[in-house]
Amino acid sequence: MSGNEEQIEYWNGKAGETWVTAQERVDAMLAPLSAQAVAAAAVQAGERVVDIGCGCGATSIAFAERGAHVWGVDISAPMLARARERSAGLDNVAFSEGDAATQSYTPDHQLVFSRFGVMFFADPHAAFANIRSALVPGGRLVFMCWQAPRENPWMAVAGRAIQPYLPEPEAPVDPQAPGPFAFARDAYIRDILGAAGFSDVEIVDTRAELHIGDTLDDAMAAQSEIGPAARALAELDGDERDAALAAAREALAPHISDNGINLGAAAWIVSARA
């Protein structure tokens, strides 16, 4: 037991299916950030790469197209099915259903990469110690994770508007609990990677404007699909859900411009050596 059972259930349930439906739109939206993470990974043809939490496979396929031998590991069966479908015809990429925290690795990969797939471990210290075992000595770890909600209006504008409609949490919320913002604090990332035996840790502030939708309706549909607003909305129903949706719509409305709704996003690109 890795303690990740809740996440396994989450990513194999409605969330995983929604990510599959939304895959093209999500990849297009994340492209300005993703391109920076892929560039930082500096993959060379022939390298062996593990893509942790590869989801629907965008970055695994990007690396395979550069000539690397890529292994995508994810806990979500529906997202992996989409990844396999998209990569049909590429014989240098393979996908497995597995928990990256406990998966057994061979120490023969030059790069372990992740685009927003490493913030969901119940025990990140143990998970990263295990992940390091996939790398050759001196091999590279490169991942992208979100900075704090206040730095991410693309998620926080609607998220904040919905907040008053949610039930009071029974206990104080741990900002480092598994979830999109678990690695918002760079000192926490350094602590985890240092304890796991990584060296040369660098954490780079990486920003972009993300295109949330062409219209307010598009943006509302997108925010109801994935991300913190969608997670919050899933907890509501009836009149309360309608009121929360109306509040999110009102909060997004001032951001409409001639080229739709575009909001700021801030991530960390973290790199280290085994």
Ligand X SMILES: C[S@@+](CC[C@H](N)C(=O)[O-])C[C@H]1O[C@@H](n2cnc3c(N)ncnc32)[C@H](O)[C@@H]1O
Cα-flanking dihedrals φ and ψ of residue 44, to 5°?
Answer: -110, 150
Among 33, 38, 40, 76, binds ligand X (CB under 6 A): 76
Tell me whether residue 63 or residue 120 sits nearer to ligand X (CB atom): 120
Stretch that binds ligand X, among 61-69, 99-107, 240-248, 261-269 (CB under 6 A): 99-107
Distance CA(156)–CA(12), nearest Å, equals 25
Q: Which residues pair with 262 in a beta bridge?
A: 211
Among 95, 105, 120, 181, binds ligand X (CB under 6 A): 120
8 A C-beta contact, residue 210 and residue 266: no
Stretch that binds ligand X, among 93-101, 161-169, 230-238, 264-272 (CB under 6 A): 93-101
Q: Residue 99 interacts with ligand X (CB under 6 A)?
A: yes
Q: How far is CA 70 from CA 105, 117, 152, 235, in A?
A: 13, 16, 30, 37
Distance CA(7)–CA(229), nearest Å, equals 18
Q: Residue 87 interacts with ligand X (CB under 6 A)?
A: no
Q: Residue 206 interacts with ligand X (CB under 6 A)?
A: no
Tell me whether residue 70 or residue 165 sits nearer to ligand X (CB atom): 70
Lookup: tokens for 110: 């030059």
Distance CA(153)–CA(263), nearest Å, equals 6
Distance in Å from the first CA to the final CA of the chain: 26
- Within 8 A by CB and 6+ apart from 56, the residues are 19, 20, 23, 26, 27, 79, 82, 83, 86
Stretch that binds ligand X, among 112-120, 184-192, 213-221, 238-246 (CB under 6 A): 112-120
Stretch that binds ligand X, among 41-49, 54-62, 85-93, 261-269 (CB under 6 A): 54-62
Q: Residue 72 interacts with ligand X (CB under 6 A)?
A: no
Instruction: Tell me which residue of 269, 261, 272, 274 sits closest to 29, measured CA to CA.
Output: 261
Among 62, 64, 74, 156, binds ligand X (CB under 6 A): 74
Distance CA(13)–CA(24), nearest Å, equals 19
Written as one letter, the residue type at 114 is: S
Q: Residue 68 interacts with ligand X (CB under 6 A)?
A: no
Q: Residue 20 interacts with ligand X (CB under 6 A)?
A: no
Among 49, 61, 79, 131, binds ligand X (CB under 6 A): 79
Among 20, 53, 145, 165, binds ligand X (CB under 6 A): 53
Among 11, 71, 128, 181, binds ligand X (CB under 6 A): 11
Tell me whether residue 116 or residue 183 sits nearer to ligand X (CB atom): 116
Interface positions with ligand X (CB under 6 A): 4, 7, 11, 52-56, 58, 73-76, 79, 99-101, 115-117, 120-121
